[in-house]
Amino acid sequence: MVVAVSGTVATAVTVLRTPTSTTADVGNVASAMTTAAATIRQIRRDLDATDVQALQIWEDAAITIELWAWERACRRAMSLLEYQLQAAGAVAAELLSGRQETYHTVRTGETLQSIAQTYLGSWSEWQRIAAANGLKAGPVPVGTTIIIPQRS
């Protein structure tokens, strides 16, 4: 299921960046991204509901550790896919509105405040970046592509 969602994201970005894409193409991609985002949210809810005690049923500690590692890897993959969906959605919105957005890929040691200082001229503008990307206060995973809103 995760692979299918990842394929949807890759296809969406390709279609959206194709100069011959029509408004109908963009609408179809937006619909597919909405469905993919709902799928990701459901999988994450299912993972959140996983009882940690249930992963400890095996007598062999190596199996338990392997299960935990798998669960953590799934969570990381879900987060990455969710951010990719946001980036593809931003491209769709850009095409529909005709407005060019600026994107930034978060690097090690960067915060929303430091990114806001660089792009918007003031660290206090970090909330605009957070709002544009549906983020909450806190660290943003390295490698996440975020939308930088235009200066006001």
> What residue spans define the domains of the chain?
1-100, 101-152
Q: According to the model, what pLDDT value does residue 1 have?
A: 54
Q: What is the pLDDT of residues 86-120, one digit of tens each?
A: 777 777 766 666 656 688 888 999 999 999 999 89
Mean pLDDT across the chain: 78
Q: According to the model, what pLDDT value does residue 82 have?
A: 77
The identity of residue 148, as a single letter, is I
What is the CATH T-level fold of the domain 101-152, as seen in this structure? Membrane-bound Lytic Murein Transglycosylase D; Chain A (3.10.350)
Q: What is the pLDDT of residues 50-69, one digit of tens each?
A: 666 666 666 777 877 887 78
The 10 Å Cβ neighbour count of residue 140 is 19
Q: According to the model, what pLDDT value does residue 102 have?
A: 80
pTM above 0.75, yes or no: no
